[in-house]
Amino acid sequence: MAKFKITYNTTNVIPEESGWVWCSETISAPSPRYKFVNLGGASGSVDMSKASSGSLLYDDREIKVTFARFKKGQDGWLDNVVSLDSSVSSAFSSGYTVYIFPKTESNIKYTAKAFTREVSRDGIIQFVTLTFRIAPDGTAVS
């Protein structure tokens, strides 16, 4: 089965290969960018959404993926989170284009623009949720 992957240059960040377990993934729906213009001397408005590019454009989307990991004890419980965060941060500070390969859409790659993370803990289970801002349309991967 496919794994969630972050790729830049020739480097891959695959949280599942460093002990994290994929829990969930959501990808926001495409949101069309509409532009309506009111013209003087005419009733209603004119749809200019396709005027600049010849096709309808879309706003950025969001991928939110959650991973879990077992960690007993209080000592160093954030070490694994910091390691994952450093790996992902390195991708975005590398100067290379960062691609996201979702697990739920393994034949699609998205260009990532930024990310944030949320960390929580429930007993011995650590959770990390990574949220990526991505380009509107994915590219099929063969």
Each residue's pLDDT tens digit, 51-101: 878 888 888 999 999 999 988 766 777 888 899 999 999 999 999 999 999
Break the chain into its structural domains and give their ranges.
5-28+61-140
Question: Which residues fall within 8 angstroms of residue 21, CB to CB, at 6 or more apart?
Answer: 67, 68, 69
What is the widest separation between alpha-carbon atoms in the chain? 72
**75: phi then psi, degrees, rounded to nearest 5:** -70, 125
What's the pTM value of the predicted model, to 2 decimals? Answer: 0.83
Q: Does residue 1 carry a pLDDT above 70?
A: no
Residue 2: pLDDT band with limits 50, 70, 90: confident
Decide: 60 and 136 in contact? Cβ < 8 Å: yes
The confidence score (pLDDT) of residue 142 equals 62
For the domain spanning 5-28+61-140, the CATH number is: 2.40.30
Each residue's pLDDT tens digit, 78-88: 888 899 999 99
